[in-house]
């Protein structure tokens, strides 16, 4: 079991130590789950208050917080310090050395130095896997796939043909890269096309046939990208679907064909991005937001949770609502609704007088 002194931890998190006792720290936990060998993480007001009920003898606290009778490590950015501590105590998944006997590796595939291939993994023809990459059980790697160095793929990942993955990429359980895009065409204009043009549906399309448009592009993942469990990213129709370096994608995200996602983006769970969207750098898309196809979102934009984005927005926008509008406009809409309620309430109050006036005027 790992253990550290409070002096060692203070140096690691670049904190300020007030030492009352000098416990041996073997784990980290919230205050109410901490014992005398635990560093209590009191990052907010509730956790700080819970220190009075804790058995911990040491705590990580925000800058300026001191607790009488308790060893404290003060830090300016508590979540950043927590990240460093979690890395300190993190125990990585168990991986086998070399290639597991049950794995199927095509003779034409090229494996770099110190590569780990887990049970039942399939490596298809002409795949290239970089040095120090670890691939856990039941993963499928398609033909002509290129994977960089120091990648870590959890169990059950599926990677289609010709996908390109950079260095230091983490793929969690069930990630799918390179499935065909959701792309179809009809011989004659369909209901969607008619509705866009005429604003209504007039024609009888009961005999319409839907033809699949093949996807001959692929998916390209930049360096230092992390993709959460059961997220799917479809291949491009002709060009590649692209995810920029340092972008982090949560579980259960759907990214459609031909999309171009910039660098350093954060995409939260259950987001759906339709095909051919262009997303700038450092864009944050909060949970359950949906983006229509063929729109462009400028860099440094924030899309709030459940927003329904149907049009393009410039850089540094804050986008809210369904249909989504700039935050300032959304606040104006709320104020207008509130004003309308007040006006309606006044109208109801004076409505009897209005009726009496109309009756008298008609006599």
Which ranges of 163-321 would DSSP assign to H, the alpha helix? 191-198
Q: Longest C-alpha distance within the chain, in Å?
A: 101
Collect all residues with Cβ–Cβ distance below 8 Å to 291 and sequence separation of at least 6.
271, 272, 273, 274, 277, 285, 297, 303, 309
62 neighbors 77 (Cβ within 8 angstroms):
no
d(CA 114, CA 144): 20
Collect all residues with Cβ–Cβ distance below 8 Å to 39 and sequence separation of at least 6.
6, 9, 25, 27, 28, 29, 56, 58, 59, 60, 73, 85
At residue 184, the 3 state secondary structure works out as: strand
Tell me which of 100, 154, 172, 257 is the catalytic residue: 257
Q: Is 154 a catalytic residue?
A: no
Neighbours of 90 (CB within 10 A): 8
Among 57, 169, 173, smallest CA distance to 118 is for: 173
Q: Is the dihedral angle over the CA atoms 326, 331, 336, 338 positive or is it negative?
A: positive
Among 186, 229, 231, smallest CA distance to 205 is for: 186
Strand partners, 254: 232, 272
Joined tokens for residue 111: 């494996």
DSSP structure class, residue 4:
B
Joined tokens for residue 356: 């009496």
175 neighbors 193 (Cβ within 8 angstroms):
no
Whether the upstream peptide bond of residue 323 has omega within 30° of 0, thus cis, is yes
Neighbours of 143 (CB within 10 A): 15
Whether the upstream peptide bond of residue 167 has omega within 30° of 0, thus cis, is no
| Active centre residues (catalytic) | 257
């Amino acid at each position: 079991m790992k253990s550290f002194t409070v002096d060692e931890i203070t140096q690691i998190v670049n904190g300020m130590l007030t030492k009352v006792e000098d416990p041996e720290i073997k784990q980290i936990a919230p205050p109410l789950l901490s014992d005398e060998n635990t560093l209590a993480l009191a990052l907010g007001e509730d956790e700080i208050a819970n220190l009075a009920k804790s058995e911990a003898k040491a705590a990580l606290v925000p800058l300026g917080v001191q607790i009488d009778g308790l060893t404290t490590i003060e830090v300016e950015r508590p979540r950043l310090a927590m990240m460093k501590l979690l890395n300190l105590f993190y125990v990585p998944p168990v991986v086998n050395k070399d290639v597991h006997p049950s794995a199927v590796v095509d003779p034409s595939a090229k494996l770099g130095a110190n590569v780990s291939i887990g049970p039942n993994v399939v490596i298809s023809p002409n795949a290239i896997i970089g040095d120090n990459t670890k691939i856990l059980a039941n993963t499928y790697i398609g033909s002509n796939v290129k994977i960089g160095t120091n990648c870590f793929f959890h169990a059950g990942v599926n990677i289609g043909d010709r996908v390109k993955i950079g260095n230091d990429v983490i793929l969690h359980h069930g990630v799918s890269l390179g499935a065909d895009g959701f792309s179809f065409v009809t011989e004659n204009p369909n209901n969607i096309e008619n509705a866009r043009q005429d604003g209504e549906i007039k024609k009888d399309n009961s005999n319409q046939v839907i033809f699949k448009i093949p996807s001959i592009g692929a998916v390209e993942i930049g360096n230092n990208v992390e993709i959460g469990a059961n997220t799917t990213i479809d291949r491009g129709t002709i060009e590649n679907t692209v995810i920029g370096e340092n972008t982090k994608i949560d579980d259960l995200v759907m990214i459609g064909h031909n999309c171009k996602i910039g660098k350093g983006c954060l995409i939260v769970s259950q987001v759906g991005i339709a095909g051919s969207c262009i997303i700038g750098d450092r864009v944050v898309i909060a949970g359950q937001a949906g983006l229509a196809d063929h729109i462009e979102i400028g860099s440094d934009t924030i899309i709030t949770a459940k927003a329904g984005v149907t049009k393009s927005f410039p850089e540094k926008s804050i986008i809210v609502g369904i249909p989504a509008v700039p935050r300032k406009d959304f606040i104006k809409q709320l104020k207008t609704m509130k004003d309308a309620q007040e006006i309606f309430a006044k109208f109801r109050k004076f409505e009897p007088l209005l009726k009496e006036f109309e009756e008298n005027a008609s006599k």
